[in-house]
Chain A
Amino acid sequence: MYNIIAVDISGRHKINDRYYMVCAAVSVSITAAHIEKVNQIKIKPFWLDSTPELTDIIQVIEDTAKEIEFEGTIITEHGEMYNQPERVVASMFSREFKYQESLGERSSIELAHHISLCTRNLLLSELGIESR
C-alpha cells in the first residue's frame, strides 16, 4: 500500500467568455488494484479569462495539492496535461509527478473526477451560470 495524490480538473471549456475550473486533489492509500483509504480531499475553484496553458494547469494543480497534508506523487490522466510526454511535465512540477498507470491509480483519478465535477456543478448553480 502506498500514498498518492490523484488530481482532476473540471471545466476546461469556455462559458460566457470565461473558464470556470474546479481542481480536486485527493490523497489516497492504494494497492495495485484498489483504493484502500481516502486520507484527505482538497477542492479549489479557479476562474480564468484566457485558454489555460500547460503552465496554468500545473500552477492550479500545485496550488491545490500543496494543501494536502499527506506525502505522495501527484497523478493525473494524460489528457489533463494536453498529452505532453511525462518527463516534460514532470520537469515542470516542484514535486513528484507521473501519469496514471495501475487500476488503483485510475480509480483514484475517477474519484477525483467525480468530486471536481460535482463541486463545479454546485458552484455554477449557486452562481446562476448555465453549465452547458
Chain B
Amino acid sequence: MKRAILIQRNEPKSDESKNIRKLIELQDLARSANYKVVGDVTQTRGTDRKYQIGRGKVEELALMVEELGADGIIFSNQLSTTQIYNISETCKCEVIDKFQLILEIFAERATTKRAKLQVELAKLQYELPKAKAIVSLLKKEERPGFMGLGSYEDSYEQDIKSRISRIRKELASVQKDNESLRVKRHERGLSIVALAGYTSAGKSTLFNALVDEDVHVEDMLFTTLLPITRALNIRERRVLLTDTVGFIEDLPHWMVDAFRSTLNEIFLADVILLVVDASESPDIIRQKLVTSHDTFWEQIEGVPIITVLNKVDRITEDELQKRLENVGYLAPNPVTVSAKNGLGFDELKMEIYRQLPKWKRDTVSLPMSEYGMSIVSWLFDEGIVHNINYKDRIIVDFEARDEIIKKARGIEVKQDLKHSST
C-alpha cells in the first residue's frame, strides 16, 4: 500500500466546515485508491503560481515526506503542470491532485470496454491543456530541427486530440446501442427508474435490497462505475431499476463529459431516486443535495425526483424530523428508508408507482376464440389485467399505456367488423 500525505490549500475567508468536509472526502478518496494516509497539511492563503501553496510550506512538506516515508503527495486543489513539476522537484516524490486520484480509482475499477473508454477519455481530457507544458518541461535541453525550435509540443497535443476524437467516436457508437436499448425497453412498456446521489449514499445497498441482487457493495467511494440494470415489479408494473455512479462535489466539466453516457442513464430515466445518507449532519446533507441538484440542472427536463433518505436506522425520530425540516426545500417527494433492514420500502414503492408515467384503464370486448385468447395473453404481458369475464365474449378490464389501449381497441373494432360481414 502506498503512503501519501494530503495537502489542501483553503481560500482566505472561505467556509471552514466546507474545507473540513473536502479534506475528509479527500481522505476517503485516497483510501479508495489504496493509499495509506500518513499525514495531512492545510494552508489558508491565495494561490501561488509556482507551488499552489507557499514555498516555505513546500519545503516543510519535503521534510515531512522524508520523515514519514511517504511515496506521494495528494493535493485537494487542481494543480498546473508547472506546479506538479516544481513540487515534485522539491519533495522528490510523486505529486498528484484530486482529479488524478479520481482517475486512478476509475482506471482501477473499470472492467468493461465502455468504462475503460470513458476513463481513457477523461484522462486525455485532463492531459490536453497540460500537453504543451509537459513536453516543454521534459525537452528543455533538447530542441529538434534546424535552429533547435521544433514542433514536439504541437505533435504531442495533436496526438492527444486525435485520440480523444477516436474515443468519442467509439463511445458514440456504444451510446447509440444503449439508446436503442432504452427505446426498445420503453416500447416494451418498461419504465426506467434510476438511482442517483452522492457517492457512498448507499445506492448499491438499496438497489440490492430492492431487486434482491448481490451487486458489489463496499464502504468506499465509487464502488459502482458502470450502470447495472435489473427488473423490478411495483404493484404489477414492471420497471427497470438502474444503479449508477455517484456524484462528487466540484466534479470538473471534462469529467462529467467523459462519463456522459453513464450519466445519461440517470438523465433519461422516467423516475429518479435521489439517495441521501440521512445519518450525516444536516449541513452535509444540504451540501450533497445541492451538488446533486447542480448535476441535474438543465439535464433532466422535468423527470420526477423522489428523495430517498437512506440509513434512517442510524438516527432517532427527532433527528430525522430535524433533518427533514432543514433540507426539505431541497428534497422533492421525500421518503425515509433503511436499505439495511427494509424499513420504508412499501412507501418507497408506492411513491415510485405514483411517479411512473401514467397508464389508463379501459375495457375491451373480445371474441371467445383462439385469437381472442391470444389477445388476452398479450394484454397480460403488456399491462395490468384487473378483471376478466368469460361469457359469450371475453370482457377484459385492464390498465395499460396509451399505445396498448389503442391497439386493443383497434383489434376489437376489426373483429366486430369481421363478425358483422360474415
Q: Any chain B CB within 8 A of the CB of A121?
A: no
**Chain B residue at minimum C-beta to C-beta distance from A4:** B329
Q: Known: A85-B13, A88-B13. Contact between A33 and B305, CB under 8 A?
A: yes
Contacts of B15 in A (CB 8 A): 85
Q: Are A103 and B329 in contact (CB under 8 A)?
A: no
Q: How many residues of chain A have a CB within 8 Å of chain B?
A: 11
Q: Known: A85-B13, A85-B14. Contact between A32 and B330, CB under 8 A?
A: yes
A34 nearest CB across to chain B (Å): 8
- Provide the A76-119 mask, 1 if CB < 8 A to any CB of B, else 0: 00000000010010000000000001111010000000000000
B47 nearest CB across to chain A (Å): 15
Q: Are B293 and A101 in contact (CB under 8 A)?
A: yes
Q: Are A103 and B13 in contact (CB under 8 A)?
A: no
Contacts of B255 in A (CB 8 A): none
Q: Known: A31-B332, A32-B330. Contact between A103 and B296, CB under 8 A?
A: yes
Contacts of A85 in B (CB 8 A): 13-15
Q: Are B331 and A32 in contact (CB under 8 A)?
A: yes
Interface of A is mostly: loop
Q: Which listed residue (A31, A88, A103) contacts B293, Cβ 8 A?
A: A103
A130 nearest CB across to chain B (Å): 30
Contacts of B289 in A (CB 8 A): 101-102
Q: Any chain A CB within 8 A of the CB of B297?
A: yes
A54 nearest CB across to chain B (Å): 14
Q: For the complex, what is the distance from the CA of A73 to the CA of B86, rounded to whole Å?
A: 47
Q: For the complex, what is the distance from the CA of A33 to the CA of B302, rounded to whole Å?
A: 8
Contacts of A31 in B (CB 8 A): 332
Q: For the complex, what is the distance from the CA of A101 to the CA of B290, rounded to whole Å?
A: 6
Q: For the complex, what is the distance from the CA of A104 to the CA of B296, rounded to whole Å?
A: 12
B24 nearest CB across to chain A (Å): 21
17 contacts between A and B (CB under 8 A): A32-B305, A32-B307, A32-B330, A33-B304, A33-B332, A85-B13, A85-B14, A85-B15, A101-B286, A101-B290, A102-B293, A102-B330, A103-B293, A103-B296, A103-B297, A103-B332, A106-B297
Query: What is B's interface to A at a CB cutoff of 8 Å?
Result: 13-15, 286, 289-290, 293, 296-297, 304-305, 307, 328-332
**New contact pairs (15) apart from A32-B331, A103-B332, CB-CB < 8 Å:** A31-B332, A32-B305, A32-B307, A32-B329, A32-B332, A33-B305, A85-B14, A88-B13, A101-B289, A101-B329, A101-B330, A102-B289, A104-B329, A106-B293, A106-B297
